[in-house]
Each structure stands twice: as structure tokens, then as C-alpha cells.
């Protein structure tokens, strides 16, 4: 396969390169940059010095797409929509890692992203790439909207409950933490070492752009009509997301039913593991891998269920899930090229 990565100089792009470089179906990878044309990747990322030399090429949508099978857009919101419009109707399938194509409704997008939405027809054509819950539609998609990192962890944790009607009338709070790579490679005061190290910071409380994405796809994929409370936090670590979800159901739950429904949802999924022994996972259980690990705890005193879901934001939350979607779109087994064990410790 011939692959293009646009935005290759960013964290999502370099993670795509790491994984695609050892995907046995991939023959050729071309890297595109809007600011570093002619530069070799290892000049920007010295850890790649002993890998094949990848030279960055200029982003020229008019010349791209016919020689490629897949174009990954690892570009900021706004840029992705503009590029996708130009790449439509070419031979290549597009997998977009940004949030541009994840929301169906124009005004919802514009309210939360504070920018003009992609054309309606494009947003409606894009298939939401939460692989475990949407594989049938992904199979025949030409454009995939890869999910956000927080929505990936949260939806994988909540959808088994939604699907059984357990979220109907329930109250759901998502309390999530992320590593600093979630903010990309551009230097910023938010992720400055001095301000992140030894610090834990809540941000985007009730205003984060992933809130409408989670509500929309909890509804579309799980049938739940839920208004969520969501508080993300920046944690002093490079990779990882932990979504801790508090569910106060309107009905009484029992431990055995909860175990059975999570087991039924994920027993055939290569990238979701549910702890069955009451343990809840930590982010290191998924570090540098495409795994999502889930654990649940039922509090018999309050009737509340706590669901803890962890992923690596750059892998299952971005590049890894994008490749999992490519595998589904091309009829490869889901784990082709992305089955590495997590790095531990």
C-alpha cells in the first residue's frame, strides 16, 4: 500500500510513521509538511536517525491522492477540513485525526470549535471511526473521522452500559486526565515543563470540544440520550488518558450482570480488555500500545458504578486507531501492524 501522512512533523504524524513503518502491508510512506519541505524527518526527530531517511514533501493536494491508497491527515482542525474537500473523489481514502468531521450538526461544530464548519455534505459522508462500535460502516467508508482521545476512552467505557439501556435516566460524570502530548508538539505555556511538572490542572470544565462528540456518539452508537458532565485534567506525564466515569443508574445493578455485559461487548475485540477481578487499570497498562483497558467497581452503599478506562492518547486515541480503521477499510485483520504489547514500566 502507498500511504501519505500530512502533518508528519507533529506528534500524531510521527506516531503514524512509527507504526506504519513496520506494518507489513505498507510498501511506501510519503510524508508531507506545510512548513518543513525538503527537511529530513531525523533532523526534527533525532531518535529516527537510524531509520530509513524520510524527506518531507510540500503539501500539494492537487498532486496527492491518485498514487496513494490512504491519506492520513494529522493536521489541526480547520486545516483538515480544507484538505479533505480537495482530496475527495480521488482514489485515496482519507482518515482524518482532527475533530473537523466528527460532529454532524454545523451549528454544534461552530459553537464548540469556534470556527466555520466543513461543508455539510463532507461531514455527513464522514464515518465516525470508533472501530469497536462502528466497524460495519467503516468497512465501506471513503472518509473516516477518527475519534478524539477523550471520547475514545470514555465511549469505550460507557457504550456497553448505553447499549443495555443502563444509562437511561442515569447521571454520568466523566472525570478525565491526559498526558501533555495531547496538546501536540508546538511549544505552549499550558504544557511548559515548569507549569506541568508537579502540577495537576483542570481545564475546559463543561466547555471542552469533546463534550458534544461524546454525547452525539453515545446516542448514535448506544442509543443513550445523555447530557454529560466532563472535566478534563492535564497530568504531569507525556502519554496516557484515564477516564474515570461515575454512573448513578436509575435501576439497581448487580456485579455479575455488569461483568457479563462488558465481557459480551468486548470478548472478541483485540484491543479492549476488561479486568474481571475488580481491578481498575492504570495508564501504564496501555503505554505505547493500541489497547484500551477497562475496570469497573460497583458501590453497593450508593448504587453508583465507577468505570475506569485507559488508553495511550497517541495510539488508541489517535494514530493506532487510525491504522485500525485503515485495516478495517482494506479488509485486513484489525490488529495488522499494531499489535505491539504496551511498554512497561
Ligand X SMILES: CC(=O)N[C@@H](CCC(=O)OP(=O)(O)O)C(=O)O
Catalytic residue set: 149
Return the C-alpha cell found at 252. 439497581
Burial 50-60, CB ≥16 within 10 A → b, else e? eeeebebbebe
Site for ligand X in 273-332 (CB under 6 A): none
Classify residue 78 as left (phi > 0), alpha (psi -120 to 50) or beta. Answer: left
232 binds, among ligand NDP, ligand X, none (CB under 5 to 8 A by kind): ligand X
For residue 148, state whether it binds ligand NDP (rule: CB under 6 A): yes
CB half-sphere exposure, 48, CA atoms < 13 A: 17
**Shortest approach of ligand NDP to residue 18 CB, angstroms?**
13
For residue 183, state whether it binds ligand X (rule: CB under 6 A): yes
Q: Which is nearer to ligand X, 99 or 160 (CB)?
A: 99
Return the C-alpha cell found at 15. 506516531
Q: How far apart are CA 236 and CA 263, in angstroms?
A: 32
209 within 8 A of 113, measured Cβ to Cβ: yes
| 3-class SS shares of the chain: helix, strand, coil, % to 5 | 35, 20, 45
For residue 149, state whether it binds ligand X (rule: CB under 6 A): yes
Listed in order, strand segments (DSSP E) in 201-265 are 201-202, 229-234, 241-248
For residue 7, state whether it binds ligand X (rule: CB under 6 A): no
What radius of gyration do the chain's Cα atoms show? 20
Among 11, 45, 266, 287, binds ligand NDP (CB under 6 A): 11
Among 10, 222, 249, 295, binds ligand NDP (CB under 6 A): 10
| Eight-state DSSP code of residue 276 | S
Instruction: Return the range that interacts with ligand X (CB under 6 A); candidates 175-183, 251-259, 268-276, 278-286.
Output: 175-183
318 within 8 A of 311, measured Cβ to Cβ: no
For residue 212, state whether it binds ligand X (rule: CB under 6 A): no
**Shortest approach of ligand X to residue 166 CB, angstroms?**
27
Site for ligand X in 218-237 (CB under 6 A): 232, 234
Q: Which residues pair with 172 in a beta bridge?
A: 247
Closest residue to ligand X, based on beta-carbon distance? 182
For residue 196, state whether it binds ligand NDP (rule: CB under 6 A): no
Residue 95, CA distances (Å) to 190, 309, 322, 328 in order: 28, 24, 7, 12
129 binds, among ligand NDP, ligand X, none (CB under 5 to 8 A by kind): none
Among 54, 70, 75, 84, binds ligand NDP (CB under 6 A): 75
For residue 185, state whether it binds ligand NDP (rule: CB under 6 A): yes
Among 148, 160, 249, 337, binds ligand X (CB under 6 A): 148
Q: Which residues pair with 94 in a beta bridge?
A: 71, 143
Among 3, 19, 36, 262, binds ligand NDP (CB under 6 A): 36
Amino acid at each position: 500500500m502507498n500511504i501519505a501522512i500530512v502533518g508528519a512533523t507533529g506528534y500524531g504524524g510521527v506516531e503514524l510513521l512509527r507504526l506504519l513503518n513496520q506494518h507489513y502491508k505498507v510498501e511506501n510512506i510519503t510524508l508531507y509538511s506545510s512548513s518543513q519541505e525538503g527537511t529530513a524527518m531525523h533532523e526534527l526527530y533525532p531518535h529516527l536517525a537510524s531509520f530509513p531517511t524520510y524527506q518531507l514533501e510540500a503539501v500539494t493536494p492537487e498532486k496527492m491522492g491518485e498514487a496513494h491508497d490512504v491519506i492520513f491527515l494529522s493536521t489541526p482542525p480547520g486545516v483538515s477540513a480544507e484538505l479533505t474537500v480537495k482530496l475527495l473523489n480521488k482514489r485515496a481514502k482519507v482518515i482524518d485525526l482532527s475533530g473537523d468531521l466528527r460532529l454532524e450538526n454545523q451549528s454544534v461544530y461552530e459553537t464548540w470549535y469556534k470556527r466555520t464548519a466543513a461543508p455539510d455534505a463532507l461531514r455527513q459522508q464522514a464515518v465516525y471511526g470508533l472501530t469497536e462500535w462502528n466497524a460495519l460502516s467503516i468497512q465501506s467508508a471513503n472518509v473516516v473521522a477518527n475519534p478524539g482521545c477523550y471520547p475514545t476512552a470514555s465511549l469505550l467505557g460507557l457504550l456497553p452500559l448505553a447499549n443495555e439501556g443502563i444509562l437511561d435516566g442515569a447521571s454520568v460524570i466523566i472525570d478525565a486526565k491526559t498526558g501533555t502530548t495531547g496538546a501536540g508538539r508546538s511549544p505552549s505555556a499550558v504544557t511548559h515543563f515548569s507549569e506541568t511538572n508537579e502540577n495537576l490542572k483542570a481545564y475546559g470544565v463543561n466547555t471542552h470540544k469533546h463534550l458534544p462528540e461524546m454525547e452525539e456518539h453515545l446516542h448514535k452508537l448506544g442509543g443513550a440520550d445523555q447530557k454529560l458532565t466532563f472535566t478534563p485534567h492535564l497530568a504531569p506525564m507525556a502519554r496516557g488518558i484515564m477516564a474515570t466515569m461515575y454512573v448513578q443508574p436509575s435501576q439497581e445493578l448487580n456485579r455479575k450482570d455488569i461483568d457479563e455485559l462488558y465481557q459480551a461487548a468486548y470478548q472478541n475485540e483485540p484491543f479492549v480488555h476488561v479486568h474481571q477481578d475488580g481491578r481498575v487499570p492504570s495508564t501504564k497498562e496501555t503505554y505505547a500500545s493500541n489497547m484500551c483497558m477497562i475496570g469497573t467497581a460497583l458501590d453497593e452503599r450508593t448504587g453508583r458504578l465507577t468505570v475506569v478506562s485507559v488508553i495511550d492518547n497517541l495510539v488508541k486515541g489517535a494514530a493506532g486507531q487510525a491504522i485500525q480503521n485503515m485495516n478495517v477499510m482494506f479488509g485486513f485483520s484489525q490488529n495488522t501492524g499494531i499489535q505491539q504489547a504496551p511498554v512497561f514500566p
